[in-house]
Structure 1
Amino acid sequence: MSQQQPDNSTIACEDPLAKHRAPKGLSDQIAFRLTRLLRFFADLFFAQRYGHRAVVLETVAGVPGMVGGMIRHMRSLRRLEDDRDWIHTLLAEAENERMHLMTFVEIARPNWFERMVILLAQGIFFTCFFLLYVISGRTAHRLVGYFEEEAVYSYTQYLAEIDNGKLENVPAPRIAIDYWQLPADARLREVVIAVRADEAEHRDVNHDFADRFDRPQEASD
């Protein structure tokens, strides 16, 4: 049975990083409803196995930045125009999400079934997101913004499980210590805090990119 998520006002009180962008218009509603649907299935499948949830979801999370960056890169080449900060930001986001994945692979050690789910989910999501970005870049970025809102919430819950002693606060993997420049004795709690901060930044960036489509000059730059 899926875990019931508190309303956003409650989350905001519990987590200073939590924000919610209220949907405006059909495009936003589609992105928001799709996010909630996927959240339901993620809760159903993973329940409170937050490490395993992170492995599968970070595999998917690394797709949007790469797809968006690739499409905008090709557009820049085709139009012989500079793309300003879009390409660099999106590719950096994809790399950051990949490092999240590499970190949680060390922590959760996915089994063969989860690896099959990863393979299937990544292939389906890549194709669907590519088509969505071509059809409506605004909706694609809003979708990612809402995905990241859910990611912040999930990592907040992960952190709570560690603080409550329900999950062991294991030593941080070396890859995480090196990437986030954490103390040598850092533990899982510090890793989750760092990852959550990254997701909050991606949330804000993608909501901003979606907003730029309402200002055509900025969307085309």
Structure 2
Amino acid sequence: MSALKIVIKGSTLLCSNGAKSLGIASKQAVWNKFILSGQTSARCLATNVDVDKKVKDVKESKIPKETKMPEPDHLEHFKPGRVDDMPEPDSLQHFKKPKESSSSAIITKTPPPGVITLPHPIWEEQQVHEVKITHTPPETIIDKMAYYNVQMLRKVFDIFSGFSFGYRNERKWLNRISFLETVAGVPGMVAAMLRHMKSLRRLQRDFGWIHTLLEEAENERMHLLTVLELKQPSMLFKLSVIASQGVFVTWFSFCYMLSPRFCHRFVGYLEEEAVKTYSKCLEDIENGSLQHWQTQRAPDVALRYWKLKEDATMKDVILAIRADEAHHRVVNHTLASMKPTQFNPYKPGQ
């Protein structure tokens, strides 16, 4: 009420002064105008008084002190120092990691050899026993060059490896197979690389040859890895492989750029000799120095790669390898009879 009186007195004073200064306005009009302004000012002052009162009440009020939350039971248990039975972080719910789905899982362990491979034929027992020694007669000059090159290399290797004379024991067989497979794995990889580079260089497709050649190269390498389970190569053997690989890779690359037909025919005749070699190996398994291979368990890499039975023996491995070589023989003779621009008739794994 006091504030209202002050406002009214102030308004009256202003009204008197305003009435004197305004000659054209009546006292009543000026009075009404300042009465309205006085009411507005009174409301503002009343509002400010209420706000000040509330602020004062808040300041004078007693704010309760922060209430201490009770500690969880597990903290009371471990607080004295009993930490021997403290759980591992991985077992707590807020530390557990979400399980990865099979689609997003990443292989962190090194898989054993023979698990991750390209498609390749899996032979039935009847198929491995039906393999025969065959020969494709050379017809053109290129075919004859390829055939006589293979025959010459075979005779030279038989002499230097001691395979053409003396007793064929297990050591000779392992040395021969290991060395020949290091050579046999070269043509498919070199041919696939050159055709791949040619496809990139000419900006055109390869007509499906690359996958077949890569499958052949890996298949020969798996033969080598299988035999290495039975033999640890010496330093002299490793140096011989390095030297022969350097010479053969260079020579075969140069020949393939000049005549793919010659190279595939060369490999076809090379595989014919490989079938003969593994057929002789099977003869020694039956009646010769390798009879213990009839009962010797096959290496795990062979069981995984060819999907052999758990009780498979080394004889079963040699039968599967010979079937692979016979398959390469047919494939390379077929590719040698085709033009490089014709489509490969063999699908992946065939």
* TM-score bracket, shorter-length normalisation: 0.7 to 0.9
RMSD of equivalent CA atoms = 1.8
Tell me how far 1:88 sits from its aligned partner.
0.5
Question: 1:208 is matched with which residue: 322, 328, 334?
Answer: 334
Partner of 1:193: 319
Partner of 2:342: 218
Question: 2:142 is matched with which residue: 27, 30, 33?
Answer: 27
Tell me how far 1:217 sits from its aligned partner.
4.6
Q: Tell me if structure 1 keeps the 8 A contact 2:208–2:343.
A: no
In 2: Cα distance, 1:145 partner to 1:57 partner: 15
Query: What do the CA deviations read for 1:107-149 (whole angstroms, capped 9, x no partner)?
Result: 2332222222111111110010000000111001000000000
Q: Tell me if structure 1 keeps the 8 A contact 2:131–2:323.
A: no
The more displaced of 190-199 and 99-108 is 99-108
Tell me how far 1:202 sits from its aligned partner.
0.6
Partner of 2:299: 173
Q: Tell me if structure 2 keeps the 8 A contact 1:76–1:82.
A: yes
Q: Structure 2 counterpart of 1:195, which letter? A: I
Change (3 A) 1:179 1:16: closer
In 1: Cα distance, 2:178 partner to 2:250 partner: 20
Which of the pair is proportionally richer in helix? 1
Change (3 A) 1:198 1:23: same
Change (3 A) 1:219 1:30: farther
In 2: Cα distance, 1:107 partner to 1:64 partner: 25
In 2: Cα distance, 1:194 partner to 1:177 partner: 11
In 1: Cα distance, 2:215 partner to 2:162 partner: 28
Partner of 1:38: 153
Q: Structure 1 counterpart of 2:224, which letter? A: L
In 2: Cα distance, 1:219 partner to 1:46 partner: 43
In 1: Cα distance, 2:248 partner to 2:191 partner: 13
The count of residues paired between Structure 1 and Structure 2 equals 205
Partner of 2:248: 125
Q: Tell me if structure 2 keeps the 8 A contact 1:42–1:53.
A: no
Partner of 2:205: 82
Q: Structure 1 counterpart of 2:313, which letter? A: R
Partner of 1:103: 226
Q: Structure 1 counterpart of 2:252, which letter? A: F
The more displaced of 148-157 and 16-25 is 16-25
In 2: Cα distance, 1:165 partner to 1:98 partner: 27
Greater radius of gyration (CA): 2
Q: Tell me if structure 1 keeps the 8 A contact 2:207–2:341.
A: no
In 1: Cα distance, 2:341 partner to 2:199 partner: 15
In 1: Cα distance, 2:303 partner to 2:162 partner: 26
User: Secondary structure at the residue paired with 2:228?
Assistant: helix
Q: Percent identity?
A: 46
In 2: Cα distance, 1:95 partner to 1:217 partner: 24
In 1: Cα distance, 2:243 partner to 2:313 partner: 31
Tell me how far 1:34 sits from its aligned partner.
0.7
- TM-score after normalising by structure 2: 0.56
In 2: Cα distance, 1:160 partner to 1:61 partner: 22
Specify every segment of 5 or more residues in structure 1 that has no aligned partner in the other structure, as ranges.
1-14
User: Secondary structure at the residue paired with 2:326?
Assistant: helix
Partner of 1:11: none
Residues 1:182 and 2:308 are matched in the alignment:
yes
In 1: Cα distance, 2:156 partner to 2:240 partner: 13
Q: Structure 2 counterpart of 1:197, which letter? A: A
In 1: Cα distance, 2:253 partner to 2:152 partner: 19
Q: Structure 2 counterpart of 1:218, which letter? A: Q
